[in-house]
Structure 1
Amino acid sequence: MSRKYANLAERILANTMISDDSFFEGTPCWIWMGKRNSSGYGQINRRFKRGPRKGKVGTFLVHRVAVQELGGRKLTARSVAMHLCNNPLCCNPAHLKGGTQRQNVQQCVREGRHYTPFRKSV
C-alpha cells in the first residue's frame, strides 16, 4: 500500500495555501485548507507513534503538529503553540512558538484580542 505523502511535513505543506493578505514580520501566513474544529483551528488526523495508543488514529491541532514537524521544536502536553500572527489557521512554523497558557493569554490581552463576555465596559 503506497502513501499519498512521504511524511507528515509534506502532508501539512500540501494542505496549506500561502496567504495574500495575512503577514507576520514580512512573511506570509500558511493557511490550513483542511478540516477545522469549532474554535476555528485546523485539525489533522494521524497515528500515535508510541505509548498505549500506538497505531491508533487521533485528531491533533495542525499548528501544534507544524511546530514539531516543520519547526523542529518539542511541545509537552502542558505547553501550547502560540500564534504570533494572531491567525488561528496559520501553520507557518516561523509564526508559531511554544509557551504556557499564561503566556498565550497575556499575549492575547496585550494585543487587544481578549474578550470577556461578562465584564461591563467603563
Structure 2
Amino acid sequence: MKTRKSISLIRDYVGLDKKLKSKLFISQNGCHEWTGAKNYDGYGVIWFEGYSWATHRVAYELANGAISQSSEKFWVLHKCDNPSCCNPEHLYVGSPSDNARDCAERCRKSVGWRLWASQDPNFDPKRKVGTVYYEYKGEIKTLTEWSELFGINAITLNQRFMAGWREEDIPLPANKYKRHILKDCNTNYKRFSGIEEVNNYLTNKEKKLKENKVPVSARIPVWMKSILENSAIKNDRNFSLELINRVKLSLTEEEKKIAGI
C-alpha cells in the first residue's frame, strides 16, 4: 500500500509546531487563520523537512496524533468551511465520500473546475458551485438524474443544456449529438448550483404566483364580459360556460398558474 503523507514522517515535531504557529492569526469566530502561502483553493501550505504540507492537516495531527495509515477516514475536513483555518477544534477526519458530500452541500467544486472556469474573464473566484440542477419542462432534477433518465452521459447532457438545445432535442440518442449541436440552439434552461439555490428559486416562484394570483374573470376582455352578462340575464348558462371554457383553453400554462386554475 502506498504510504500516505502524515506527520509520522516528520522527525522534529517541535520545530514543525513552532513554524505552524508563527503564521496563525486567531479571528473572532475562533478560526486560526493561516497567513502564509496558500494554494488556489485557499488551503494553507507549509514546507518542512523536504515535504509540502497542508497546514490544516498538520494542525489536526499535531493536536490528535498521526492518522493511521490503515484508516478509512484519512482526510482532514473543516467544520467551519474555512480552508485556511487550522484550529483543531474546527477539524475532523473523514473519508473521500464525506469530503464529496461536504463539497456538494457547501456548494464547492473540484480544483479542475476552478482552473477551467478561471479562464473566463467574468469568472468570480468567490462563487461557490455545488451539485448541478436543471429545470427542464417545468421539472427540476440533478444533472445526474436527468442523465440517467435520458440514458445520456452527464457531460454531454450538460453541454446540450448550456448550448440551448430545443426541448425536443435534449433526450436524443448520443449518436445524433453533433448533427444538432449548432442547430436552433436558443433555448434557455434554468441552472442551479446546490440545493439551496433550488429551494430559494421555488420559494420565490411560489411567492410570486401568490402575489400575482388573479381570478379568471379579471383576464376576460371587457367585450366578452358584456356578452357573458347579457347571456346571464337571458339565463343562457350553457352559452356562458362555453365562453368561459374557450377563455381557459386560450390561456398559457403560466397564465393558468397565475389565475389559479
- Give me the TM-score of the superposition, normalised by structure 1: 0.70
Rounded Cα–Cα distance in structure 1 between residues aligned with 2:98 and 2:132: 22
Out of 105, 108, 116, which is 2:100 matched to? 105
Rounded Cα–Cα distance in structure 1 between residues aligned with 2:132 and 2:104: 16
* Within-5 A mapping of 1:80-95: 80-95=75-90
1:113: Cα distance to partner? 2.4
Q: 1:99 to 1:44 in 2, by over 3 A?
A: same
5+ residue gaps, structure 1: 1-5, 48-56
Greater strand proportion: 1
Q: Is the deviation greater in 63-72 or in 34-43?
A: 63-72
Q: 1:43 to 1:33 in 2, by over 3 A?
A: same
% identity of equivalent residues? 29
Look up the match of 2:25: 17
Q: 1:46 to 1:39 in 2, by over 3 A?
A: same
DSSP 3-state at the match of 1:70: helix
Look up the match of 1:64: 57
Does structure 1 conserve the Cα–Cα contact (< 8 Å) formed by 2:104 and 2:130? no
- Give me the TM-score of the superposition, normalised by structure 2: 0.35
1:19: Cα distance to partner? 0.9
Look up the match of 2:156: none
Look up the match of 2:38: 36
Higher-Rg member (1/2): 2
The number of residue pairs the alignment matches comes to 102
Look up the match of 1:53: none
1:37: Cα distance to partner? 1.0
DSSP 3-state at the match of 1:38: coil
Does structure 2 conserve the Cα–Cα contact (< 8 Å) formed by 1:67 and 1:74? no
5+ residue gaps, structure 2: 1-13, 109-128, 135-190, 193-261
RCO higher in structure (CA 8 A, sep ≥6): 1
